Every structure is written in structure tokens, then in C-alpha cells.
Amino acid sequence: MHDKNALLKMPPFTPMLFAGFMMRPVPAFFLKPVAKRVLARMKKLYPEIFSRLAVLENTKFLITPTDLQYCFYLSVEEGQTYIDVGVNDAEHPEFQAAISGPMIDLLKLLEGRVDGDALFFSRALNIEGDTEAVLTLRNAVDSADVSLVDILGGPVPFMKPGFDKLFSKIGSFFEYLEQDFETVHRSILLPITRHMDEIDKELDKSEDRMKKMDKELVRIKASLRKKQQSNHKFVGGMQ
Amino acid sequence: MELVCPAGTPASLRAALDAGADVVYVGFRDETNARNFPGLNFSPEELEESLEKAHDMGRQVYVAINTYPQAGNLEPWYRAVDTAARIGVDAVILADIGLLDYAKRQHPELRRHLSVQASASNPEAINFYHSAFDVQRVVLPRVLTVHEIAELIKEIDVETEVFAFGGMCVMAEGRCSLSSYATGKSPNMNGVCSPASHVEYEQRRGKLVSRLGEFTINSFPNEEAAGYPTLCKGRFVGHTGEPSYLFEEPTSLNVMMLLPELIQAGVKALKIEGRQRGKAYVYQVVSGYRKAIDAAMKGEPVPLMDMGNITEGTRSTAGAYEKNWR
């Protein structure tokens, strides 16, 4: 698969989108060691994920958070899993499967806080390419009780309670922020929504008029047919 | 009433137990169960650990070995039954009469339940399974009304388990080969309906297009909720010229509002479908049904919970349980 634009939908209006704007000056280069460190921690904490992934032979995933400018290349090669970071508007290396969605949903999926099928049904998550590989990845990740707090705060055990509190605060703050963004989003769209509602009402009225005209047409046709039949009978009678 | 819940991984099993499942049902990581999906299911070692955890909490674990053994290749199915018996699971869920016979002869002490895949929906069939293979419970196909279930229970000597929530089939359980026409694999023989290896999704001109094998089976506009890529839930062009759902729409079963009637009918256990779903789904559905069953058993009004976010196509139905089309 080469079509790098295939999965790039309009990003959702979320705080993560603005965080992405602010992070724009940070080159992907600086994020690579962070991603590699996170993967190493995950391998140590959740070996069951990687034993389930090992069945994939040389599979490369493109994982795209739609509200950030970065993307992740996750690859499984000969039983080993690797990660790299790129940017969305660059030419991607060859990949077999692609997953895209808002960053917050991808993180929730990683922690098993949301069901992958549900995200897919609601169209928040897009997948393309090797569906079997995507399912294997989803099931492998879901087989462990992944915790971002444990991944990021685990190296120094006495810091864990502090990390728990910090993450909880950040989580609450982010939820409030998401609600605020939703409100702003709605208010920005309000004039357009109202206009669309008016157009919908007009369309409904037009549809009703069309239906009435259809009925009228059917009635006129039936009455014409009746008249033609009675004319035939009359002409027949004359013969 | 027993709440029987799905788990595709040990983490899902823990989620089900934490959410209040009385029983969790699982499958081995091969074609012997009807959810043979990549990366899913239990190794014997994982099952052993999970069973210990469940028993420590006073709960049970059933193992589904509910596909049909292939001619000339019976070994995986025999091995699955032997392993389940050795580990000491609380029941096996079987469909094939040969396998039921094997289980009865080799492991008479191992409790046997009849899978929905056997499609036993009348007293004669169910009583035969009971007398021939000492089946203790039957999982009823999703084709009966609550009234029919109540009448059936009066005429049989085994416990009944009914589906309460999750995926729907086109009412030909254990008989459906639709998937094999497009992929060569079916749920009955290979444990997979629409195997992922044959499924393809593509974003095309603002639509999500799903394909199974060589067939395009649906095209969802961007704002429309999507469903599973199964042929029975495909949108096809019929005589009208407009694409429409000819068999079944993408929707999930949910009978929460019928709980008092099912209890009244004498149903022994409620089953949640979805071993292929994530632990978030398992936790949400099981918690909801735990509260609903507890309330219904006390004679209190059933607290109806919104499950819209996890249903297929974000819609649900009570299906045949309240059939009103005949």
C-alpha cells in the first residue's frame, strides 16, 4: 500500500488538534527515542501482547493519529516488534495495514478503555489493508491490562503514586477541555446547522409536493384510461 | 438466573469477573470454537490460570468446542475436549453429536451443554440430546419468542440458556454456509464467519467500502454507523434498483427489557455474545446486565441502560423474542 493520503480524513476538532499545532516545531526525530522507550517498557510489562503478535510474519502497520502531524510505523519482523515515528505529509515506507483515528481514541484503545469494534462502528476508527493483521494487533493489545501510568511512571516505583495522581488530574482536565471544544465546535457550526435545518425543511416540503403531484398524476392517468376504455366501447358499439 | 459472559483473552475474562459475571465462556486458540479469530482465545496454560482465578472468586468457566469436526481430522476436537476435562472446566459447550458422544464416553463426569450451533429448538430434539448424551443445558437458537421458550421449557428436562445481547445471525444457526461461498470458510467448520484474511476495507470518495473475497458487500457514507462485513448484513441492489439490506441490517440483540418475562418463563441462564470484542465491551455489557438481572430478580423495575455506543450499527433489537411479524 502506498497511498499516503488514503486515510487522512479531516481531523476532529479536539484539544489534541491544538496540541498538535503547538508540537509542530518538534521534529519527529526527537519523538523516536520516546516511542522506542515506550515500546521497550511495554515489552517488559506486557510480554503476552508480543507473544500474540509473533504470529504475524513481517507485517508493517501505519498508525496515524488524525489530529497530530506525526504517525507511527509499527513492524513485526521475525517475531520481534519495532517502532518508528514519521510525519503525516511525508512519503511513508511500504506498509501492509493502516489504522487511523483521533489520538485520544488510539490511547483509549491501547489501554482497553474502549472497544475497537465500537470505535469502528461509530466511524471514529479507520482501518485499511490487511484486516487480519489489524485484528491480530487489536486482540494482542487487548489481551493485557495496559496502563499508561505504569508505562511512563514505572521505572521509579516510589514515583508511581505521584504519576497516578498527575495522570488522573490530566485526564480530568482533558475531559473538561474536550467538552469545551465540543461546545465551541457546536457554536461555530450553529449558523450552518440552522441553515441546513431550513434547507431540510424546504426539501421535506418539496418532497411532499412531489408526492401529491405523483398521486394527482396517477389519478389523471387512471381517469384518462377509463375515458379511453369507454370511448373504445362506444366505437365498438357503433360497429 | 445465571449471567454467562464472553472472553476472548484472559484480560477480558478478568473484566467479566470484575463486572459480575457468574460464568465466563472461552475457546481454545484454534478452529475448535466458533470465534477462531487471529490473536484471540486461550492457550491451555492461560485457561488453567483463568480457571483458578474464577474458582477463587466462586465463579465458573465454560469452554466452547462448538464447531463441527472435519472428516479425517478429528484430533483437534478430541484434544480440546480432553484438555478441557484435564484442566477441570465447569462445562463444555458442544454442537456435534460425534463429539458429544466422545465427551460422554471419555469424560462422563464432564458437564455437557448443547451449543446454539446445534440449532435444537424443539422438545423432541432437545430431549434426544439429553437422553443420548446426558446434555444438562441447551443454548437456544435466536428464533423463538418468549412465549415459545416458556412452552418449550415445560416439555424438556434440561436447563435453558438464551442469548441476551450481542451479534445477530440470520436465524439459521449452525446451518449457515453463506461465508463459505465467498471465502471457502464458514463458522460451522472453521469457526469464522467472514474470516479477516478475506475482508478488505477501503475509504473511497467519502465512503467506507467493505469487501469479502471478491464481493463488495457494503458502502457506508461517512456519517453512517458501520457494521460487520458479513454477507447476511450486506447491502445489495435488488429489484428496486436501490441498495438495501436484503437479509438483515447491522444491528445487535438486546433483550434487557424482556428480562422479567424470561425469568418468568423459567430460563436458567442469560448469555452475552462477543468473545471477539474488547474488554471494554465485556465490562460495559456485563455490568449493565448484572444490575438489570439483580433488579429483575428482586422484582424491581429493570434499569434500562444505553448500550448504543457498543452495538453494531449503533442500533439494537429484541429480535425474534418479541416477534410480531407473523
Count the domains in chain B.
2
Residues 6 or more apart in contact with residue A52 via CB below 8 angstroms: A136, A139, A140, A143, B39
Whether B309 and B261 map to the same domain: the answer is: yes
Whether B11 and B119 map to the same domain: the answer is: yes
Whether B269 and B310 map to the same domain: the answer is: yes
- The yes-or-no verdict on residue A11 having pLDDT over 70 is no
Whether B8 and B145 map to the same domain: the answer is: yes
Closest-CA residue of B relative to A129 is B200
CA contacts within 13 A on the Cβ side of B49: 9
Residue A130 inside a domain? The answer is yes
Interchain CB contact of B218 with A (< 8 Å):
no
Task: Give the pLDDT score at B250.
Answer: 87
Annotation-wise, does B193 bind a ligand? yes
Whether B18 and B151 map to the same domain: the answer is: yes
> Domain of B161?
2-168+251-322
Q: Express each pLDDT in A199-214 by its tens digit.
A: 878 888 888 899 889 8
Residue B195 inside a domain? The answer is yes
For residue B184, count other CB atoms closer than 10 A to its CB: 12
Whether B97 and B231 map to the same domain: the answer is: no
Residue A194 inside a domain? The answer is no
How near does any CA of chain A get to the CA of B1, in Å?
Answer: 27
How near does any CA of chain A get to the CA of B207, in Å?
Answer: 11
Angle at which helix B279-297 crosses helix B10-19, to 10 degrees, equals: 30
- The yes-or-no verdict on residue B69 having pLDDT over 70 is yes
Interchain CB contact of B203 with A (< 8 Å):
yes
Q: Express each pLDDT in A101-123 by its tens digit.
A: 999 899 999 999 999 988 988 88
How many Cβ pairs closer than 8 A exist between chain A and B? 105
Q: Express each pLDDT in B30-61 by its tens digit.
A: 999 988 888 899 999 999 999 999 999 999 99
Whether B232 and B121 map to the same domain: the answer is: no
Task: Give the pLDDT score at A63.
Answer: 95
Residue B48 inside a domain? The answer is yes
Residue A129 inside a domain? The answer is yes
How near does any CA of chain B get to the CA of A26, in Å?
Answer: 30
Whether B55 and B203 map to the same domain: the answer is: no
Q: Assign A5 a pLDDT band (cuts: 50, 70, 90).
A: very low
Q: Give me A174's grid cell.
A: 482533558
Q: Express each pLDDT in B265-318 by its tens digit.
A: 999 999 999 999 999 999 999 999 999 999 999 999 998 788 878 888 888 888
CB within 8 Å: B11 and A114: no
- Report the CATH number that the domain containing residue A112 is assigned in CATH: 3.30.1050.10
Q: Express each pLDDT in A53-83 by its tens digit.
A: 988 989 999 999 998 888 999 999 988 999 9
Task: Give the pLDDT score at A17.
Answer: 67
ipTM of the complex: 0.86
Query: Residue A114: its chain B contacts at CB < 8 A?
Result: 278, 280
Residue A4 inside a domain? The answer is no
Interchain CB contact of B209 with A (< 8 Å):
no
Mark which of B190, B223, B245 sits at the end of a domain: B245
Most confidently predicted of A163-172, A225-234, B229-238: B229-238
CB within 8 Å: A131 and B196: yes
Residue B173 inside a domain? The answer is no
Q: Express each pLDDT in B213-258 by its tens digit.
A: 999 999 998 778 888 889 988 998 877 778 888 888 888 899 999 9
Residue A96 inside a domain? The answer is yes
Residue A150 inside a domain? The answer is yes
**Picking from A157-171, B70-84, B216-230, which range would have the lowest pLDDT averaged per residue?**
A157-171
Q: Assign B192 a pLDDT band (cuts: 50, 70, 90).
A: confident
Count the domains in chain A.
1
Overall average pLDDT of the A134-145 stretch: 94
Share of chain A above pLDDT 70, in %: 81
Whether B266 and B224 map to the same domain: the answer is: no
Residue A218 inside a domain? The answer is no
Q: Assign B130 a pLDDT band (cuts: 50, 70, 90).
A: very high
CA distances from A108 to A147, B16, B309 (A): 10, 19, 15
Whether B224 and B260 map to the same domain: the answer is: no
Whether B182 and B289 map to the same domain: the answer is: no
Whether B103 and B226 map to the same domain: the answer is: no
Residue A236 inside a domain? The answer is no
Interchain CB contact of A144 with B (< 8 Å):
yes
Share of chain A above pLDDT 90, in %: 39
Residue B223 inside a domain? The answer is yes
How near does any CA of chain B get to the CA of A25, in Å?
Answer: 30
- Report the CATH number that the domain containing residue B27 is assigned in CATH: 3.20.20.70
Q: Which residue has the cell 438495501?
A: B244
